[in-house]
């Protein structure tokens, strides 16, 4: 029988082959879905200062450039490169702990001209984009005065700030203006930002799925595994980028550098801040505790995938309180997948898939799912 390392290598090769076959189809679907969300004027360039040179064909090529990135940094740099064809001056600001810090730019000097520049998120279009997670067009006079003083403004005074949303949170904002020549194609920039958000989530899911399968292979070879702290299924591309202008805090215990660790905030005001969080699996054997944790992660991965590919349905379902009816086929297919893997294990009693559906899709509000959702 193959040892643990050999077994893991076999599984990883098989997974890589599956993804290599599926990625071209996935890329094509992402392009179609993003373009389908836009009005016809955005796809043809109508109403934009750059109509003729930026029709749908060029926009699809730009999206393909983003999809060619295989790491988070490659994807973000591709965004800046292709966005510079639709806006003369482009800058990406990382958002951490409610503060925005410059990452890279195009057309504002060197690529690092905005590096660590603290953009004010409490006023103007940057605040509107960050707080409401929507594109914010504005006049340069509404922008952070420090930014305008250092980098100047466009000739026509029109700017826009676009939020890059990952896992329902704004992880970065993209600033764009037309510079001296007035090149600012807002709809196309919105397509590129939406595409980047989706592709970052796809690469994160791919990484997590590889990890899940590798963990399963390791478990088959060595069933007794020490309990580990559960982490979310999303890898934060900006986790290593801490804005210099944020005051340092006391160093926490080491965490995975590229993952966002879920922290419970349910402690009462009078509880001691240093009290350790209770382990829900503390009374279980190491094997059972490990199975429960893996079941939680697998449920989260399945629901993340539903959410990623059905963002419009999720928004409409929440608004109309019929989310289950809109997503029934996807939910039940994923439920079946979860049951086949964990339905006959120690984790079956945890009902983790149902919990994750309610938590992630409905924010724990059962009424959002509709009358046909089985509780």
The answer as to whether 85 is a domain residue is yes
The answer as to whether 255 is a domain residue is no
User: How many angstroms separate the CA atoms of 11 and 109, rounded?
Assistant: 47
Same domain, 107 and 9: yes
pLDDT tens for residues 19-62? Answer: 566 655 565 565 565 555 554 444 444 444 444 344 456 888 88
Task: Tell me which of 11-15, 108-112, 244-248 is least confident.
Answer: 244-248
Same domain, 14 and 128: yes
Same domain, 24 and 165: yes
Contacting residues for 312 by C-beta, under 8 A, at least 6 apart: 37
Domain limit, last residue, from 157, 177, 197: 197
Number of other residues whose CB lies within 10 A of the CB of residue 66: 26
Q: What is the pLDDT of residue 4?
A: 60
Domain limit, last residue, from 197, 230, 263: 197
Q: What is the pLDDT of residue 268?
A: 35
Same domain, 179 and 307: no
The answer as to whether 251 is a domain residue is no
CATH number at residue 166: 3.30.450.40
Mean pLDDT of 205-211: 73
Domain, as residue range, for 91: 4-197
Q: What is the pLDDT of residue 10?
A: 67
> pLDDT: is 21 or 72 the higher one?
72
Domain limit, last residue, from 197, 215, 246: 197
Query: pTM of the prediction?
Result: 0.51
Q: Is the pLDDT reported for residue 124 higher than 60?
A: yes
Same domain, 60 and 174: yes
Residue 52 φ/ψ region, left for φ over 0, alpha for ψ in the -120 to 50 degree band, beta for the rest = alpha
The answer as to whether 19 is a domain residue is yes
The dihedral formed by the CA atoms of 76, 199, 195 and 129, expressed in degrees to the nearest 10: -70
The answer as to whether 326 is a domain residue is yes
Reported as half-sphere exposure (CB side, CA atoms, 13 A), residue 116 has a value of 5
Pairing of strands 169-177, 89-96: antiparallel
Tokens representing 296 are 């939680």
The answer as to whether 364 is a domain residue is yes
Structural domains in the chain (count): 2
The answer as to whether 240 is a domain residue is no
Give the range with max mean pLDDT: 139-153, 247-261, 308-322, 338-352. 139-153
Q: Is the pLDDT reported for residue 267 higher than 50?
A: no
3-state SS assignment for residue 270: coil
Q: What is the pLDDT of residue 83?
A: 94
Same domain, 60 and 186: yes
Q: Is the pLDDT reported for residue 213 higher than 50?
A: yes
Length of the chain: 375
Q: What is the pLDDT of residue 150?
A: 95
pLDDT tens for residues 284-311? Answer: 898 888 899 999 888 888 888 888 788 8
The answer as to whether 110 is a domain residue is yes
Contacting residues for 358 by C-beta, under 8 A, at least 6 apart: 364, 365, 366, 369
Same domain, 166 and 311: no
Same domain, 64 and 191: yes
Q: What is the pLDDT of residue 200?
A: 87
Same domain, 14 and 129: yes
């Amino acid at each position: 029988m193959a040892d643990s390392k050999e077994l893991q290598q076999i599984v990883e090769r098989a997974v890589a082959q599956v993804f290599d076959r599926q990625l071209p189809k996935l890329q094509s679907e992402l392009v179609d879905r993003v373009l389908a969300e836009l009005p016809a004027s955005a796809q043809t360039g109508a109403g934009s200062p750059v109509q003729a040179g930026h029709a749908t064909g060029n926009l699809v090529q730009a999206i393909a450039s983003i999809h060619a990135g295989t790491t988070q940094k490659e994807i973000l740099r591709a965004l800046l490169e292709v966005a510079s064809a639709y806006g003369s001056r482009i800058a990406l600001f990382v958002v951490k702990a409610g503060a925005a810090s410059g990452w890279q730019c195009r057309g504002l000097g060197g690529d690092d001209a905005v590096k660590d520049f603290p953009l004010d998120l409490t006023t103007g279009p940057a605040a509107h984009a960050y707080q409401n997670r929507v594109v914010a067009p504005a006049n340069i006079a509404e922008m952070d005065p420090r930014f305008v003083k250092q980098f100047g403004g466009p000739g026509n005074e029109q700017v826009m700030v676009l939020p890059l949303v990952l896992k329902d949170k704004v992880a970065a904002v993209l600033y764009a203006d037309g510079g001296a020549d007035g090149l600012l194609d807002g709809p196309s920039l919105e397509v590129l930002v939406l595409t980047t958000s989706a592709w970052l989530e796809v690469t994160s899911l791919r990484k997590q799925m590889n990890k899940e399968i590798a963990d399963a292979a390791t478990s088959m070879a060595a069933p007794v595994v020490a309990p580990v702290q559960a982490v979310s299924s999303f890898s934060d591309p900006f986790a290593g980028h801490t804005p210099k202008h944020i005051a340092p805090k006391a160093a926490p215990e080491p965490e995975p550098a590229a993952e966002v660790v879920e922290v419970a905030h349910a402690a009462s005001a009078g509880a001691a801040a240093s009290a350790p969080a209770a382990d829900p699996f503390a009374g279980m054997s190491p094997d059972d505790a490990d199975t429960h944790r893996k079941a939680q992660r697998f449920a989260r991965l399945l629901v993340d995938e539903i959410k990623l590919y059905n963002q419009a349905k999720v928004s409409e379902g929440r608004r109309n309180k019929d989310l289950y009816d809109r997503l029934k086929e996807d939910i039940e297919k994923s439920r079946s997948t979860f049951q086949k893997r964990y339905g006959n294990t120690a984790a079956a009693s945890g009902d983790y898939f149902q919990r994750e559906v309610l938590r992630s899709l409905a924010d724990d509000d059962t009424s959002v799912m509709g009358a046909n959702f089985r509780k």
